[in-house]
Amino acid sequence: MFSPSPISLICAILLCLPLAIVLTITTPLTTTTTTSGGSTPFTTTNHNSTLQSTRKKEDPKNERWTSLDEKRGFPGSGVESRLMNLQTQDSKSKTAATLPSSSENDDSLFRRAALVNSSALRVGPLKVAFMFLTTSPLPFAPLWELYFNNTPRKLYNIYIHADPTSHYHPPFTGVFSNRVIPSEPTRRYSPTLAAAARRLLAQALLHDPANYMFALLSPSCIPLRSFEFTYKVLTRSKKSFIEILKNEVHAAERWAARGPQAMLPEVSFEDFRIGSQFFAVTRKHARVVVRDRRVWSKLKLPCLERHTCYPEEHYFATLMSMVDPRGCVPCTLTHVEWRGSHDGHPRTYRASEVGPDLIKALRKDRPRYGDNGMNGSNSSVRERDDPFLFGRKFSVDSVETLLNIANDVIFKD
């Protein structure tokens, strides 16, 4: 056998070298790895080395997709850019769907408020939280300004729930400046008024640990006494003032306003109560309201019958009667006159009726006491003689007359 000469070997190597280079570039890298057990190998293939060499060999149709997508404003290759665009749109739609609604915001608010101390912080004087629930400018703001005039700011706080769909001209000024809490739309014959009152309680609980008594007021309310008198009555009481009435006319129809069995089993007809929506509750009971889920789950349901749907007159009275009737004085300290009422609204006092005699007459009147969970048999209730502190409803045009008699009559105890 002839042995190859050095020249022939060099020629053979030169002839085979291009083929070796091609095989090296186009063949995927294969790595054999042994598991920790040493018995079963697994292989992984690295395709990165072939990506650049094969990209130019893709279907030429991609050039058409790319050019069309670039004309439409989509960057990159057609298929990839359309998938990215669809994923972005889907992500945006999911984000919009999971944004917290007003009820979710309320739930978060109530969870935080439920964690506060049920006793007022005693590092300073106790405070009264005046909570105004309104859909309009406060027509008696000038009178309330006089009411709070020369009163130490450390004795009270003001909170306003103002329907954001309404216009407030003039805006809230003076003692009412910057006192509006995050608010939601409200309307009659719906749970929105009760929800607004709950929102006020939660915000007031969170805002100041010194808030001890929480009084709910309407824009048509006026003070019937001086601040000093009102403050002493409220802060000296260990009980809430909330009207709790049983066996009222049309109580059965109101209980069944959402359907014959809709309130069961959480609220039976025996547990159902009616009362004024305007109350003054202790910090302990304000916390009870924001923690409640059981009773509110029923009273927040929409009604089938509009003329029997007054959740703001049912929810608080029912809840307090079920949870702590002995901790409540079953009356409201806001005077109203139901004789001469119209369309579910109490009588409105006109400017021509307003004067010292009317204020004195409202002061002289005494609250109607409910059953206090005992059908009126509680002797401590029968012997009470609580004064009305606020009055409603007064017409807007009576504000000048009220201002004229404020210092000599209303604030003179």
Q: What confidence tens digit (pLDDT) does each residue in 288-315 have?
A: 999 999 999 999 999 998 899 999 999 9
Q: Residues near 327 by Cβ (< 8 Å), separated by ≥ 6?
A: 239, 240, 282, 284, 285, 320
CA 212 distance to own-chain centroid: 21
Task: Give per-residue pLDDT as tens, 159-177.
Answer: 999 999 998 987 899 999 9
The span from the CA of 321 to the CA of 338, in Å, is 23
Rounded Cα–Cα distance for residues 299 and 311 (Å) = 6
Contacts of 4 (CB under 8 A, 6+ apart): 12
Segments of the chain scoring below 70 in pLDDT: 1-104, 340-344, 371-382
**Rg for the chain, CA atoms, rounded:** 37
CA atoms within 13 A on the CB side of 43: 7
- pLDDT at site 371: 64
Specify the pLDDT at position 380. 59
Whole-number pLDDT of residue 207: 96
Q: Strands 222-223 and 328-329, how do they pair?
A: unpaired
CA–CA dist 198, 105 (Å, integer): 13
**What is the spatial distance between Cα 158 and Cα 193, in angstroms, rounded to a whole number?**
18
Under a CB-based contact definition with an 8 Å cutoff, are residues 157 and 246 in contact? no
Instruction: Let me know: does 410 contact 359? Beta carbons within 8 Å.
Output: yes
Asked if 327 contacts 281 with a C-beta cutoff of 8 angstroms, the reply is no
Given this model, what pLDDT does residue 103 score? 54
Distances (CA, A) of 360 to 111, 150, 232, 305: 43, 24, 20, 39
Residue 233 has what pLDDT?
Answer: 98
